Structure 1
Amino acid sequence: MEYQALYRKYRPKKFSDLLGQDHIVTTLKNSIIKDKISHAYLFSGPRGTGKTSTAKVFAKAVNCLNLEAGEPCGSCTICEEINNNEIIDIIEIDAASNNGVEEIRELREKVKYAPSKCKYKVYIIDEVHMLTTGAFNALLKTLEEPPQHVIFILATTEPHKLPLTIISRCQRFDFKKISVQVIVEGLKAIIEKENIKIEEKALKKIAKVADGALRDAISLLDKAVSYSPELITTDAIDEICGTVSEEEIEDIILNIINKETEALLFQVNNIANKGKNIQQLIEDIIYYLRDLLIFKNVPEYFSTDNFKVFSELELNNDDIYQMIDEFNRTLNEIKYTNHPLILLELALIKLTTGVESKELKKTIEKDKEIKEENLEKKEESKEEIEDKKESVEDSEEILEKLKKIRINNTLALADKKVLEEVKIKWLDLTSYSLDPELGPSAGLLLDADVKVASAESVIVSYPYESMALRINYDIENMEKLLHLVIGRPYKIIAITEEEWLKIRGEYIGALRTGKKYTVIKEDVDYGVLAQKNNSEDLKSTSELEQKAIDIFGEDVVEIE
């Protein structure tokens, strides 16, 4: 007999063979035992979790001649013919290639005929979300009132694409991702039967890479057997999947902690030269850091001592949070670039050198110097203090006026297409990050969250007001840099996340009531803001100092 793929060879033939979906198995078995079988079922969930297999087992069970506690016997003529795909009463349809109105009309004609051998004629429609609108409409009436001898089982990975009229006519079962432990147990049963030699760590690696899909895990095991027939090791799995070993990830994190920038850059370049997937590498690092964070706070959660090397290091939760945040941000930015390695390198440099952390340190140190000088000087006269207060109030009023105008005008001309273009060009700021003059500004802009954009301006947000103020009080230099990146004069205004939530709510409310934003002429002389940027008041803001201390090394502005 010709070779058969493992996932086909070990496809479940009984409910007891189905793994990780006990809630569904119990419900279906009880419905069969009590003869409360519905006319239509919807199986939804991630790929490889057993939707089609469950549908086939259910089709076999409802037609089995010698049912045993809701389980198909597997030995009667009906069960044997279904196992050998020799029966015409179980019809499996691929909606991806049979998604038109004509195919569904043909199905409607055929459902009228009684089954040839079975009690029920069962239609299994896989990837049902691929049907066209017309096909769904054609199916609707038949699905609502099918003949008594017909059962429909619809399977899909994207239930949100199905019309509500279809969903409401079905009994819905949501399949969940299968846990790593359950996948490992399932693979062990196959390994024992096939006499496959594999390391325990390699087995767990397969289960983890499968991401909850048992079929993917079995296929990967099949591939690993071909690659390394004598003994499957973790190195073999890493080669097949393009993943990186835990030891290498551990070295990366240790080098970050020890600020070994040069070693890190050599390491990630060597990994990239081996053809490893950079996105997968970052995901693996985040996953490892997540485990490390749990280990530090709940050591008994893990039965192994994988993180023993970190137990002797002075590593607190904030350090891990910072690394996770940085890698997560890099992972999000990778989708907009063709050079993922560069973004990873920038993230590593940022984590090890803390270029902008030093800049913020310098601001705080300067602030202390100013305070010491002020203590040595005589008290300023009341007139000078009043003058300073008026200057501060003027600059704050101008900034508030400028913010209102720019926010209004950007929302009035907001364009989603322009927003996507701006986000892509925004990444070009990385080319200026090491520039002695433009680097600090580029790094600050790279840390911004671009919210709304028009052809003329953009609104960005920051988690802290002190960061937004650094943009707004240096707005002329920021716009000069954006001119270089965007390719045309481009305005910017920075707000806090809290302000953005309020603005977004007002904007949505305006849209619902039919209110339209109209462009306002910008007649604001914001030259005074530059003076404010260079003044002692901004540098010695107590809020900036406190935020810097609270978030130092974590959410500080950093050069990418």
Structure 2
Amino acid sequence: MPKALSLKYRPSKFSDLIGQDSVSQTLSLALELNKVSHAYLFSGLRGSGKTSSARIFARALQCDKFPTSIPCGECESCKSALNNTHMDIIEMDAASSRSIDDIKDLIEQIQYKPAYGRFKIFIIDEVHMLTPPAFNAFLKTLEEPPEYVKFILATTDPLKLPSTILSRTQHFRFKKIPNSAIATHLKRILGLENVKFEDEAIDLLSRNCGGSLRDALTLLEQSIIFSKENVTLQSVSSMLGALNPSIIEEFFNNILTKNDSKIDELLLEFESYEVENIIDEMIIFLKNKMLNKDSKYHIIIIDRFFRILGEAKNMLSLNAESSFVLLLMTLKFKESLNIEELDKMIARIEQEILQHNNAPNLQDSKNTANQIQHIESTKPIESNNPESSINHNENIATQDSKDSQDSIVKSKFEQLIDKIYNRDYMLGELFKKNYSFVDFKDSTLTWESKANEKDKEILKKYAKVIKELVCEVFGANTKIKAANLPTTQDSKQPNNEPEIIKDIESIFPIIDKKVFRDENRS
């Protein structure tokens, strides 16, 4: 009976592992130098090679040619290990055997020496699934096992492991396998299987496996059957329900040429696919254009498109209606092309300023002689005083410095709004609508609120997030306060706090009340 591709092409030595060079090298050297630890922990994404590495390592330890990093595959130990029948290589699935009783059984087995192997090796998969009592019972044995016992633990979630377990093992982190390495491996297997294929189809398969080689081999086997021994881009796209990359390219080309009728047709076609997948394919397409430096896709245009796609992803995470998100995203794509490039805008503004400064003022020309004569005749004595001139220049410099500082602070407030948008699009809209910048001095940010009761309730839920972003932009010790809005004489209440302070405090309870009260008294 034919084997599945994931089993047929499972690595049998460290050199067969894909995308895990550092792990392979370290384990190989440990075997060759006979510097083997009593316990190892392999963590990483599913299908990244953890269990395969554990089996190769165990087989090398039991091989008759030990110390070696390459099991011979000919001795009885290697053959029985390959067939998963070696009595001294015990595999345990912690997802199903996770209780303290299971660990007690394991500890009892440890008391007996190997039947015929060099070591007694325990491979515990998904070790993070053990219960807390089981972990506690396992600690002492894991720390000081008999010299003939080796532990190899594997997990997809090392963060769930107690620190006491992590400190007792050598931890090897298996990386996510790059798409390019997966594609190369799949092409090699298709060559061995004598199956025709298109490179674009293999690239699409490698992108849809999430960095897991086992998932990639499963998809490859499925695509071979579906496409009848000829793996094409069309067949793989149809099998996966994925959007053909050529349609994405056609969509962006029509965006750039502003072909609205064709864009509408493509939007109808997009409705057959998941919007999340469409956005992911668009990101990959733009990334490739940026790396290939396509002249049609200027870096500023790509940057704008990326921002729009990011906003669309945020909206989908808030359960926005997918077809609306897709339409809004398309409209933003088209609108972004109407904005001039930043460098062109700067050059144009500089040119306009220069022309304005050089333009002759006819009225001033007519009165120049009279003005000069009048100034000479009425020139005050103080004008000859150098101190007066210095004070005048200092006032001008101070005003310029203040204007520059105000501009910088206002830009920081805009930066704050952008950060809130990036964190949560809807929250950014709400914040921008209700808050306007007033002043920033002495580590205190002053703004004006126009929030109604409904908006206040929403903003109150996100007060901690907004405060965190304020401190990130303006500094860790920044306080927030409200501007003192003008009130009528009849509404003044000298013994009570202003309503605006209560308003802001109801939304941001973490604000220092003393700042408001002192400011109000002044």
State if a TM-score over 0.5 links the two structures.
yes
Task: Give the direction of change, closer, same or farther, for the CA distance of 1:200–1:351 in structure 2 (3 Å limit).
Answer: closer
The equivalent position to 2:276 in structure 1, one of 272, 275, 279, is: 279
1:318 matched to 2:300: yes
Q: How big is the shift at 1:179?
A: 2.6
When residues 352 and 152 of structure 1 are mapped into structure 2, their CA distance, relative to the original with a 3 A threshold, is: same
1:527 offset after TM fit, Å? 8.3
Aligned runs of 1:406-445 on 2, under 5 Å?
A: 426=426, 445=429
Offset of residue 348 of structure 1: 1.4
Query: Is 2:274 the partner of 1:292?
Result: no
For 1:285 and 1:250, the matched residues in 2 are separated by: 8
Corresponding residue for residue 4 of structure 1: 3
Tell me the equivalent position of 1:339: 321
CA contact (8 A) 1:95 1:127 kept: yes
DSSP 3-state at the match of 2:477: helix
Q: 1:173 to 1:459 in 2, by over 3 A?
A: farther
For residue 200 of structure 2, what is the aligned residue in structure 1?
Answer: 201
What does the per-residue CA deviation read over 1:44-87, in whole Å, with 9 as the maximum and x for residues that have no partner? 22221111100011111100124584211112211111211222
Q: Which residue of 1 aligns with 2:161?
A: 162
Matched residues in 1 for 2:455 and 2:472: separation? Answer: 30
> 1:502 offset after TM fit, Å?
5.3
Tell me how far apart the structure 1 counterparts of residues 338 and 148 of structure 2 sit (CA, whole Å).
71
Report the CA distance shift for 1:497/1:31 in structure 2 as closer, same or farther (over 3 A): closer
Q: After superposition, give the CA deviation of every residue in 1:211-244 in whole Å (9 maximum; x if it has no partner).
A: 4322121111011012112311011221222322
Q: Which residue of 2 aligns with 1:59?
A: 58
| 1:136 Cα offset (Å) | 2.0
Q: What is residue 525 of structure 1 aligned with on the other side?
A: 485
Deviations 1:90-148 (A, max 9, x none): 22222222222222222222211212222112111112222232222222111110111
Output the CA distance in 1 between the equivalents of 2:363 and 2:219.
74
- Distance in 1 (CA, whole Å) between partners of 2:436 and 2:186 is 49
Unaligned segments of structure 2, at least 5 residues: 365-398, 441-445, 489-522
Structure 1 residue 103 corresponds to structure 2 residue 102: yes
Mapped pair 1:501 → 2:483: no
Match of 1:15 in 2: 14
Residue of structure 1 in register with 2:122 after alignment = 123
Paired residue secondary structure (1:115)? coil
Q: What is the 5 A alignment of 1:391-540?
A: 426=426, 445=429, 476=450, 479=451, 483=454, 499-501=470-472, 505-506=476-477, 524-525=484-485
| Distance in 1 between residues matched to 2:30 and 2:461, nearest whole Å | 65
Aligned to 2:90: 91
2:142 alignment partner in structure 1? 143
Cα distance in structure 2, aligned partners of 1:236 and 1:95: 39
| C-alpha spacing 1:353/1:527, structure 2 compared with 1 (3 Å) | farther
Contact map agreement 1:472 1:494 (CA 8 A) in 2: no
Distance 1:295 1:357, change over 3 A: closer
- Give secondary structure in 1 for the equivalent of 2:40: strand
Q: What SS does the aligned partner of 1:107 have?
A: helix
Match of 2:505 in 1: none
**1:384-410 Cα deviation digits (max 9, x unpaired):** xxxxx9xxx9xx9xxx9xx9xxx9xxx
Determine the C-alpha separation between the residues in 2 that align with 1:22 and 1:5. 25
**Higher relative contact order structure (alpha carbons within 8 Å, sequence separation ≥ 6):** 1
Question: Any conservation in 1 of the 2:223–2:231 contact (CA below 8 Å)?
Answer: yes
Question: Partner of 1:329 in structure 2?
Answer: 311
Contact 1:460 1:493 in 2 (8 A): no
CA deviation after TM superposition for structure 1 residue 282, in Å: 0.6
Do 1:460 and 1:494's aligned partners in 2 also have CA atoms closer than 8 Å?
no
Q: Show structure 1 runs of 5+ residues with no match.
A: 297-309, 379-388, 408-418, 428-443, 451-457, 466-470, 508-516, 529-560
> Could you tell me how far apart the structure 1 residues matched to 2:276 and 2:182 are?
24
Q: Are the counterparts in 2 of residues 472 and 493 from structure 1 also a CA contact under 8 Å? A: no
How far is the alpha carbon of 1:351 from its aligned partner? 1.9
Alpha-carbon distance between aligned partners in 2 of 1:490 and 1:68, rounded to the nearest angstrom: 62
The separation in 2 between residues aligned to 1:353 and 1:502, in whole angstroms, is: 29
Cα distance, 1:182–1:350 mapped onto 2, change above 3 Å: closer
The total of aligned residue pairs comes to: 418
AA aligned to 1:279 is E
TM-score under structure 2 length normalisation? 0.69
Using a 3 Å threshold, how does the CA distance of structure 1 residues 352 and 31 change in structure 2: closer, same or farther?
A: same
Deviation, 1:188, is 2.7
One-letter amino acid of the structure 1 residue matched with residue 279 of structure 2: I
